[in-house]
Amino acid sequence: MSFRSNLLRASALKPVAALSLAMALLLGSAAILPGVARAEDIVAETPISLSDQTGVAITIYNQDLALVRDQRKIALTAGLNDLAFADVSALMRPETALLRVDGAKVTVREQNFNFDLLTPEKLLEKSVGRKVRVITTNYATGAETTEDAIVLSASGGVVLKIGDRIETTSPGRIVFDEVPPNLRARPTLVIDANSDTAGTATAQLSYLTGGLNWAADYVASLSPDEKSLDIDGWVTLTNQSGTTYRDAKLQLVAGDVHRVQEAMMKTMDAVAAAPAPMAEQAMTEQSLFEYHLYTLGRPTTIAENQTKQVALLSATSVPVDKEFRFTNLTARGYTYDIGDQERVNATVYVSFVNDDASHMGMPLPKGTIRVYKADGDGQVQFVGEDAIDHTPKNEDVRLTLGQAFDVTAHARQTKYEKISDSVYESAYEVEFKNAKKEPVTVVLVEDVPGTWKILSESAKHEEVNSNRLRWEVTVPAEGSTKFNYAVRVRY
């Protein structure tokens, strides 16, 4: 190629690149300094938009973390390519990006994540020192006047130099000739890569991102006799990552994945005993390392700035146990005289077993279970909610729903004696009252310190562990029952 042709080639490039190339041609190759792009290294960006997307899969974790696998068709040229993946997550962690291309050998040289998005304020800010046009309109005649101006500042308002005057407020519309190259309409990852061939290929861009979260929510309905419940599980997804994932394959990981100071993490690419129907699983579940992976069996679109719910499971006629419990009514008085205590209301628990026999049996992600029951008129009323942790199959689920209005207890210490410096004897009376129209069984749990011995009791205790005792006491309808026990404690 002739010297004149080379100069013409240089003039077609961007101003900075053209000047660098022209200097090189005039002064020789030695004039090209380190860091100054050579002409053969300057290539036009290849835009890769969502219209080129052929598939997307998302795995969302519990900790504001998601793995995105974005598959798109790309047009390659032999040699250098600037592949501009638009509409990636605005909260992507670019250090985790991984590009794989089918049908071509592509070597990534560098990548740039451009998340400085185009806004009127940013457009002014990036135009400081550049020429713009100011168009004013004569409202009487409708005539427009155009003046050239230089943007001097865009901090706290615009400052323009128009001719020989400085304007601190624009007298008209500001018109820009072009968008500064470092501003993007959408978050874009530009990958500088070398390809061994030209043509169309399929690329998968994988990366970790924030801004995607999920949580499990459960809605349960108690039967009229409070012996069973129907439960529906939902996955609530929130997308604040800055882009939309259309027709995505959705997977969720339940479990706490270890992360080191937000650094890149390593990723890893029965019959029921009862005849009642089992839980219908809208999502399938499998083990993944020490976690559980839930997969939605159909694609779903997760729009930007959207919260949506996806069905997780549905189960009917799950047997439940209801419990009225009092805890540590007397535990503070084993080493001193406590006298009478205040009346307290029972805490109400509802529990079930997450197993096949209970028509459940699917590992339950942590979340909130909200319980409802129909009133006498058939209107559904909210009766309480509780949070559960990740619950494996065959484990118990116990929900704290609130305080029982009609079931109360009043405890008092009837005896206190210090036998020695380390031995104490005390006795207690607990009166349980039940204002309901049906009898109830209450549970009393006491944590007894040191080495203990029950001296007497009006109901047989159960040893939950070495320092926890449990009693069950039946209280008649609209009546009361007194329970007594005495204990010796040695420290």
Closest CA to 52 of 79, 76, 16: 76
Domains in the chain: ranges and CATH: 1-40 (no CATH), 120-175 (no CATH), 321-347+400-490 (2.60.40)
Q: Is residue 376 over pLDDT 80?
A: yes
Model pLDDT, residue 259: 65
For 29, the 3-state DSSP assignment is helix
Closest CA to 324 of 344, 343, 347, 345: 347
CB neighbours of 146 closer than 8 A, spacing ≥ 6?
Answer: 133, 134, 135, 175
**Rounded average pLDDT over 294-317:** 93
- In sequence order, the β-bridge partners of residue 345 are 408
Name the pLDDT band for 260 (thresholds 50, 70, 90): low
Closest CA to 178 of 129, 117, 132, 114: 132
Q: What is the pLDDT of residues 401-450, one digit of tens each?
A: 999 999 999 999 999 999 998 999 999 999 999 999 999 999 999 999 88
**Rounded average pLDDT over 350-378:** 93
**Rounded average pLDDT over 329-343:** 83
**Rounded average pLDDT over 368-379:** 94
C-beta separation of 147 from 134 below 8 A: yes
Q: Which of 50-64, 138-152, 248-262, 278-292 has the lowest mean pLDDT?
A: 278-292
Closest CA to 441 of 399, 463, 470: 470
Residue showing tokens 């559904």: 380
Model pLDDT, residue 5: 43
> Measured between alpha carbons, how far is 252 from 63 in angstroms, rounded to an integer?
11
Model pLDDT, residue 278: 43
> What letter would DSSP give residue 377?
T
Name the pLDDT band for 281 (thresholds 50, 70, 90): low
Model pLDDT, residue 28: 43
Model pLDDT, residue 120: 86
- In sequence order, the β-bridge partners of residue 236 are 215, 309
**Rounded average pLDDT over 320-336:** 88
| 108-117, 172-181, 385-394 — most confident range | 385-394
**Rounded average pLDDT over 341-362:** 94
**Rounded average pLDDT over 37-63:** 82
Model pLDDT, residue 23: 40
Model pLDDT, residue 282: 67
> Measured between alpha carbons, how far is 306 from 474 in angstroms, rounded to an integer?
51
- What one-character-per-residue DSSP string does 51-87 give? GGEEEEEEEE-SSS-EEEEEEEEEEE-SEEEEEEEES
Q: Is residue 258 over pLDDT 70?
A: yes
Model pLDDT, residue 118: 76
Determine if residue 455 is left, alpha or beta; phi over 0 gives left, psi from -120 to 50 gives alpha, anything else beta: alpha
**Rounded average pLDDT over 476-484:** 97
Q: Is residue 264 over pLDDT 50?
A: no
CA atoms within 13 A on the CB side of 12: 10
Q: Is residue 356 over pLDDT 80?
A: yes
Q: What average pLDDT does the structure give for the chain?
A: 85
Closest CA to 235 of 215, 253, 251: 215
Closest CA to 434 of 398, 414, 410, 412: 410
> What letter would DSSP give residue 266?
P
CA atoms within 13 A on the CB side of 59: 17
This prediction has a pTM of 0.69
What percent of the chain is predicted at pLDDT more than 90? 68
Q: Is residue 241 over pLDDT 80?
A: yes
- What one-character-per-residue DSSP string does 163-183 give? TTEEESS-SSEEE-SS--TT-
More confident residue, 249 or 7: 249
Model pLDDT, residue 343: 95
Q: Is residue 491 over pLDDT 50?
A: yes
Q: Which of 39-53, 88-102, 263-277, 415-429 has the lowest mean pLDDT?
A: 263-277
Model pLDDT, residue 453: 95
Q: Is residue 391 over pLDDT 60?
A: yes
Model pLDDT, residue 19: 39
> What letter would DSSP give residue 279?
P
Model pLDDT, residue 18: 44
Closest CA to 246 of 382, 72, 112: 72
> Measured between alpha carbons, how far is 360 from 461 in angstroms, rounded to an integer?
32
